[in-house]
Structure 1
Amino acid sequence: MPVICPVSREPFSPSPPPSLSLGVAVCEREGSPPFAEASFIRRLAAAGPRHGLRVFAFSPWTLDEESGTVTAWLPAGSSWSRETVPAPSLVYDRAWPGDPLQRRRFRSGLRRLQGSGRARAALLNGRLPGKLGVFRVLKADARTASLLPPTAEYEGPDSLADWLSRHNGAAFLKPSNGSKGRRVIAVSRHPDDPERLRVRGRNGANVPFRIEKLPAGEALGRIDRAIGGRPYIMQPYLDLRGPTGESFDMRVLMQRDGNGGWTEAGIAARIGRFGSVTSNLHGGGTAANASDYLRDLFGDSESASLLGEMRRAARDVIGRLEGSYGIFCELGLDFGIDRSGRLWFLEANTKPGRASMACAGESAAASAVERPLAYARYILLRPPGRVFHEFDPM
């Protein structure tokens, strides 16, 4: 008897044919597990048959164009096995290249996969440009412009010095193409000596650092060397702190469902370690239920109002981003709330993590895994002529 998908209500086989396959693109590495996010990918593979999908992990550079196959990783008990399988027709990019060489290899593999006549594939999720590009698009829309903190491109020590003079002696610098809180820098005039600067942040390995009372010229030079030509943005150092001085932000995970519509998977508060300039879980932060956390900060009425404002803002941001960059499967949207209760949009993530959703409830955590699969099935069984993503490796 055919099984009915609970979302799309179309019949499918419990043993999905290879034609209905979702390849989770990863970057292989030494050791076990052989790639990042192995536990999440294992859950995807286990849930795949419920949506009529065969799910496997693979590195795009393993594509054999002559046979149209790739080398896949499949769960095998508590470990993983390798197997040659037909290239997937849909790719879910969850890769985290570890260095520039691996990044080039990964992107080259995606291009070959997209261009191969026998293994042409589509991308489940869209891509965004760097943070500065996203800022410019959102700034051009009245609905989203009011959510944005002042933002400018870093153009060397003089640009940062000018920024400090115009923004109360403080700045927050983020790599335009960064993620997980790596390489962020917070700089401010030292309260005991305005001629010196305090510099805090995280290095490329996501390890926190703190330097006190550097002469301004020396501090600006060291920051410029740390940036090293990478594109960076500068923003005010917003007062995004909780009741005991900890940094925090709000993660809204938005996903498309099995009917192609947007839905909210959950909202979680992400709380940084005391003294940290970031709240990312990868940098040692923790997650908490958003409603409970905001209620403790602002009370029942304002907490409910902020959550409603955040949900409306998330829809506006998604509408503007899709109007410029095409359709997305999911987006992790980060918001800050300052001490006055003002909402700020911080950034959008096309590869959002799942760990914080556990604090949004069991339903949110489960949906965070299931919805990409339901949407993948929707894409693969779409009516003829329906547009969906092809690769645009950046």
Structure 2
Amino acid sequence: MADLAPPPTTKVSDVITSFRPTKQFKTSTPVSYTSIDHDDSGEFLLLSRTDDTIQMYNTKAGAPAKELKSQKYGSALARFTHHSQSIIYASTKGDDAIRYLSMHDNNFIRYFRGHEGRVTSLCLSPSGDQFMSSSLDGTVKLWDHRSSSAQGELRFEDPWLTAYDPSSTVFAVASPTAQAVVLYDLKNFDKPPFATFDLADVEKRYVHLGQRPAEGWTGLEFGNNGKFLLITTNGGGHYLLDAFSGDLVHYLHKSSGNGVTSRLAPGDPRPDPTSVYTQADACLSPDGRFVIGGSGSQSGLVVWDSQDSSGVDKVLKPSADLPSAKSAAVVAYNPRFNLLASADKDVLLWLPDGDL
């Protein structure tokens, strides 16, 4: 099969409105995908699923690559390390450990134990073997792949989400219940945060658009350009912040109704055992300019352009719709190629359509 991925030299802005689904991977059983991640090379895609499996796809070939079963421990938040054949993921059964797995021989390399509540966030340092986790036990832990012991720990009120900045010198911790994001210098993480972004007043402004203050934050991401910090939510929209000042740049309003999605955020109350948690249903493009995500209750994807200044009260509506018959609960932009991936019940690969 010919490679699906287009050359990486095309500017994102030249193709962003022309993405269309080119490959669909159907599931034979009723499952939901809960996390999504590309490896550094852009060749592979990794997804956690509610049937306690981890699915890997070769995005260049447009074909399944491997299925990993974790029925004993469950699986969530599967992430590639900087080696495409090694991953980390959070347990959902038995304990709250993070597991480090070699996909080459399907053997565990190491366990990272210490959390006493469900892990809500896993993020890799862009430049090394370090990673961070947050948990419902109220802690953020700093780890190194080479050691099973945490390298550091911070305690918060409900720190659901974490993210490294592109330089790996700063990290952010987000707490929706506190309605705040705090920034730390990685080398001095044991010192107080050097910045605090209070979003309490911001959240009040958009209640009429389906936003629920102090709950529903699903993802946290720095833009590769260093300018933006994206907070995704399962409410009416997402928050795009200035990464330096914390000021709201845009409230990214979803296109369908009030935009509320059915997936739970990491810390949302669980109404029943079948409730599905998920990571962000939107992401920043590699150039840091665009946000691509689900449209809420409707199918397909939408695109917001951060350079669009047409919004009133900083409410930015999508600048483009990317049609599909399938909904998107998790979305990821390939770091090396102009290729999108989304999933809900099925997995879709998206490429620019040259005829549009």
Highest Rg: 1 or 2? Answer: 1
Determine which structure has the larger strand proportion and give its number.
Answer: 2
Normalising by the residue count of structure 2, what TM-score does the alignment of the two structures yield? 0.29
